[in-house]
Amino acid sequence: MKLEHGHIYIKDIVLGDKTQVEGGVLTVDAQALIAHLKEDNKVKNVKVDLARPGEEIRIIPVKDVIEPRVKVIGEGNGFPGVTSKIAQMGEGKVHILSGVAIVTIGDIVGFQEGVIDMWGEGAKWTPFSKTLNIVVDIEPVEGLDPHVHERTVRFAGLRAAEFIGFAGKDVEPDEVLVYEIGTQVEETAKYPDLPRVAYVEMLISQGLLHDGYIYGVNSQQILPTLLHPNEELDNAVISGNCVAACDKITTYQHQNNAVILDLYKEHGKTINFIGVILTPELTTLEGKFRTCDYTAKLCVNLGADAVIISEEGYGNPDSDLVMICKRCEQKGIKTVLITDECSGWDGMSQPLTDMAEEAVAVISTGNVSHVVELTAAKKVLGVAEAIYTLAGGWEGCIAEDGSMKCELNAVIGSTSEIGYHNCTVELY
């Protein structure tokens, strides 16, 4: 498969009467965007705001972050199986409005949404303080079932990303990056002496609004699935969960999966990158044995010499992480684990809920319980008091002057386990 990412580097965003890109500036017609989103009769009201790096703006409660892009050559557009018909993704050419993000906020359904500060201490912990953010506040109609409410807000964010992304369709990209890997037979013939490395990406799949989606299919409903890495880089995998904001893999992070991008850089040089295995994280013991056994079997059948395994969430999924590790290592496949830690405010608690002696190579993406102090914002997009009910916040954590304390749990992307964040520690 060959996929081209045409990056159109955006320097600024403004509101205007037409959605277009000129001279590196993205103009957004907010009224047209609102009208587009309100075509869904489950959407009652929409507000659109902008937030730029360095502005003293707090965005809360954040549900998802999405990168606007458009397919200009090849099959499929948008988010197949969700906002558009099913298509085989991973080939063709995509134009990307690089540096821009759609940030969705709105009424809380699940308690595990998050906060983005565009300046100060908070900005240090989230990668989305560096993006030019189009903040879309969605108010669904009253009386919706929680799952329908959640789906309505998420679909609105995806549709907003499609609407904005279309502005780049006829714009000449500033840079084109090519991602191309042939069949395993072809790549092994080209690189017979390089170690064969697979990437196992664990996805929250626990129900109760804790699910990822692959081509529109809830990951609860799948066995571990082999994907070409280009498919994830081409909108085939999206966020659909309300897990803790710190390690929630947003749709933007799936679109720009840092593990995949780093493995691509080494493909044909130091490794032979043989594919991505998406593995659901289930809650039952039977489910865990099934998916972990199946994942290890896929790694063996692919002929993997080594596997990188990334987690989504913490606590319950820690067991899946070390179970896959143990099975692969016992089959002679070297493993590297990427996980965050829940180590308490003082960092002294047991970091993972499970462990295995085979887990000898672990990369920590940070302590979710670390407490940060955030100064008062000049402007809040959303509702500041939402922090009281977010994972990582608590009643009274906002001071009279508007400053707040919270755990990294509440900061979007602060301990992302696919590496798209600002803090890492290596453990040996």
pTM greater than 0.85: yes
Non-local CB neighbours of 281 within 8 Å, separated by 6+ positions: 202, 203, 204, 205, 206, 291, 311, 312, 313, 316, 317, 320
Q: Structurally, how many domains does the chain consist of?
A: 1
> Strand 210-214 to strand 25-28: parallel, antiparallel, or no bridges (unpaired)?
unpaired
pLDDT of residue 146: 83
Mean pLDDT value across the chain: 92
3-state secondary structure of 219: helix
**Using CA atoms, how far apart are residues 7 and 359, in angstroms rounded to an integer?**
38
CA distances from 305 to 45, 115, 181, 196, 296 (A): 52, 40, 18, 5, 12
> DSSP secondary structure string, 23-61?
TTEEEE-HHHHHHHHTTSTTEEEEEEEEE-TTS-EEEEE
- Averaged pLDDT, 298-319: 92
- Burial of 293 (C-beta count, 10 Å sphere; 0-12/13-18/19+): middle
Nearest to 134, CA basis, from 59, 54, 51: 51
Nearest to 317, CA basis, from 257, 249, 259: 249
Non-local CB neighbours of 360 within 8 Å, separated by 6+ positions: none
3-state secondary structure of 70: strand
pLDDT of residue 340: 86
Look up residue 156 and give its two tokens: 């609105």
pLDDT at residue 428 greater than cutoff 50: no
Q: How many CA atoms lie within 13 A of 405 on its CB side?
A: 9
> Strand 306-310 to strand 196-207: parallel, antiparallel, or no bridges (unpaired)?
parallel
pLDDT of residue 274: 97
- The pLDDT tens digits for 37-90 are 999 999 999 999 999 999 999 999 999 999 999 999 998 889 999 999 999 999
pLDDT at residue 210 greater than cutoff 70: no
Beta bridge partners of 371: 407
**371 touches 345 (CB < 8 A):** yes
**Using CA atoms, how far apart are residues 408 and 204, in angstroms rounded to an integer?**
19
**211 touches 248 (CB < 8 A):** no
**Using CA atoms, how far apart are residues 136 and 37, in angstroms rounded to an integer?**
10
pLDDT of residue 111: 60
pLDDT of residue 425: 53
Can 328 be counted among the known catalytic residues?
Answer: no
Which domain covers residue 137, as residue numbers?
2-427
**Using CA atoms, how far apart are residues 250 and 420, in angstroms rounded to an integer?**
10
pLDDT of residue 410: 94
DSSP 8-state symbol, 308: E
